[in-house]
Every structure is written in C-alpha cells, then in structure tokens.
Amino acid sequence: MIEVTAKLIRGPVYLLGEIVECGISFTHPPSPQHRVSQSNNDAFESLAWASAQIHCQCTTDSKLNRTKTEKKDESNCLINNTTLSVGNHDSGRTEVATKPRILFCDLRLSPGQTKTYIYREKIPGDAPPSYRGQLVKYSYKITIGTQRVNSPVKLLRVSFRVLPVSVPILSDISGLCNDTTEELSPANPFLEIKQKETPFDIALEALQNITARRNPNFYVISNIFGKVARFCLFKPAYKLGEDIIGTFDFTVATVNCVQVSVSLQCEEETSLDENNKQTKISTYSKHHEVCLGLKYTQVILPIPLHVTPAFSTKLVSLKWRLHFEFVTSTNSGLQPPDLDVFDWQAPGELSIETMVWDLPIKLFSTTPILVAQGVQLNNVCKLSIR
C-alpha cells in the first residue's frame, strides 16, 4: 500500500495570478507483521507515474440556457486536458485546465520510505474566481493522478479558493512595477539588501488605500409624502471581513418612519442571452430596527469572509448592494413616545406603506491569509493506493 498526502504549503486561499504550491508525498508505510516468505522484490511498492494540474469546474443551473457560442467554447476548454481527461470526472464543464506536470515515472519505495515532490503552478490571471452562486458555480482544485502498472488510475483532488483581483488594482500594479527601474545609489555590502515588493504586495497595498479612504456620502430618502430620513455612508468601498457602518438622521424627516431594515445583498446576473437574462438575489447580513421616536440611529453590517467580491465573466456578473426597506406611516394622530410619559401605548391600528431602495457598493478582496484563518478550510488531503 502507498499513501499519497497532498498539502497546500501557503494555505487554501489565493489571488488570481498567484502561484499555488502543493507538497505531494508518497509513503510506503511499514508492515506491522513480518512475513518470512517475503522476498526482496515484494518489500518494494511501485507506481508507474504521477502527474498534477489545476482544474476549474463550472456548473450552471439546469434552467440556464446556453448559446451555441458558449457550447463551442466548452469544447475548446477540453483541449488542455490530459489524455485521461481527469477533469471530466466532475460534474459541469472544465473552465480552466493547466498543462499537466509529470511528477515522476517508475517510483519504487521500500517500507517506511517517503518521497515528496513540490508542485508549483500559476493561476491564470484571466480565469474566473471561486464562486458558489445560485445560477453559476466555479470551483478550483489540484487534480493529482497516479497509476500502478495494469491498474486503474487513482485521482486525488485538493480543493482551494481563488479570490478575484479588481481591474483598478491591476492598473496600479502596472504603473508601479517597472522592470527598467534600477537603484542609482552605490551598492554597499554592509547594508541589508532590501527585498523587492512582489506585484501582489503592491496589489494588497493599493487595495488597502482604496478601501481606507473616508469619503462620507449623504443620501436624502423621500417618497411622495415627503422626506423619510437622511442616510450617511462613511465610505463606498470595503474589503472582505470589514463592517459596513452608516447612520440615519430622522430630524429632517417630514414623514414618520416606523421601522427600517438594511440588508447586504449580492446580485447575480447571467449574461449569456441578452433577451433572456436571469437574476438571483442573495442576502447575507441584515440589520432591523424600530425607529419610531428616534432622532438618530446607526446600522452595522458585517461582511462575511466566505463571500465572493464583485467580478464579471462572459457567463455571469456579480454586484453588491445595500437593500433598504422603510416602513412609513401617514397617520396624523401618530405621535412618537414622550420621554416624560411612562404609560405610552402604540395605536391598535396603523396605516403603513413600505418603500425600498438599493444602494450599490464596492466589495474587494482581502489578504488570503486572513480569509483562510476565518473560514477554516482544509488544505491536506490523503489517498491510499492498495
């Protein structure tokens, strides 16, 4: 028996364009019982070959119609597969398939011996990110294939998550990363050599600058009867794991607002057919508050680490927004509770109207290490070959 163990060295979360490093170990565990009739050849375990490659599988809803162009692209995606078509064992179609890398040929292991190989592969920068939506799903994994002589192929799949990198950040990288720039100061052997920043360090730094900008925006919400409230959003761009903080000002209102709720939603829209677009809305965080009699209140919405930031492909586009629901009342006799009155009672009947409002926001990726620590993904997989 040979045990195959695969471990992602830098964790299970990466950015598009990063290099994935996976340590793949092949171990021949020692036998607990010694057989007298065992020959020297029987003590060895052998494998004919092993290879590894990255696959991105795309699965769509059964009701989603594909055009002829998309079906043609699907057949072209299978060209980069191995001759064994290891990506076809999964449901859906292969969106991305890197060229397979041969780890070894004719490996022989004695009892207790272990051999480890390092698989490195760059994630294509134009590939889609990991996403589990209602209409479209993108999933990444490293497919490790190995085989004994005259035996079926065994597959080990190591799943990992890929975060998108926005276009504005990539444009900042292209301006900051210049290979022709050289240090003009003389070299000093006694000074510590300064490590050059990688493109992803610059991307994360630009991302930090974009999401840290405080730019309060004020919005006056009103209906046909008058002003309902004034909402303040302190910044329009956020990272995964941050909190969306805003305030409501009801002192400018001419219409009584009984209660308000704010939800963090993503809008998933397919873009295959212009005449028959499908849209799905998913809600992740919600803040609800009864605001009758309040002059000011605030809203705090946490952004989960497991969601996918905004992105767009030929198949689907994802956007984020804040969804507001205001419950207003036009009752002339409705008065907010007085602080000096202890036995105030709400009216038994109240005529209300509900109004909704959507405010788009920008949601970006964050440091992959932070996402990996918050989501608790498994980065070690094992396979036994008997």
Structure tokens given for 351: 């005529």
Q: Kindly report the average pLDDT of the chain as a whole number.
A: 81
Exposed, middle or buried: residue 309 (CB in 10 Å: 0-12, 13-18, 19+)?
Answer: buried
**Side chain identity at residue 178, one-letter code:** N
In the structure, what pLDDT confidence band is assigned to residue 293 with cuts at 50, 70 and 90?
A: confident
Q: Same topology for domains 2-33+40-164+369-385 and 215-335+349-364, yes or no? A: yes
Report the half-sphere exposure of 159 (CA within 13 A, side-chain side).
Answer: 10
Task: Please write the tens of the pLDDT for every residue from 315-358.
Answer: 899 999 999 999 998 776 566 666 566 666 767 777 888 999 99
Nearest to 31 by CA among 48, 50, 45: 45
More confident site: 184 or 62 = 62
Residue range 179-185: mean pLDDT, rounded: 45
User: What are the extents of the domains in the chain?
Assistant: 2-33+40-164+369-385, 167-176+196-213, 215-335+349-364
Fold of 2-33+40-164+369-385: Immunoglobulin-like (2.60.40)
Residue range 153-169: mean pLDDT, rounded: 83
**Residue pair 47/107 in contact by the 8 Å Cβ criterion:** yes
**Residue pair 53/121 in contact by the 8 Å Cβ criterion:** yes
Global pTM value: 0.80
Lookup result for tokens 């002829």: 68
Q: Class of the 215-335+349-364 domain?
A: mainly beta
pLDDT at 74: 40
Task: Please write the tens of the pLDDT for every residue from 85-142.
Answer: 544 445 678 899 999 999 999 999 998 899 999 999 999 988 999 999 998 999 999 9
Rounded to an integer, what distance in angstroms lies between the CA atom of residue 278 and that of residue 273?
9
Rounded to an integer, what distance in angstroms lies between the CA atom of residue 373 and that of residue 17?
21
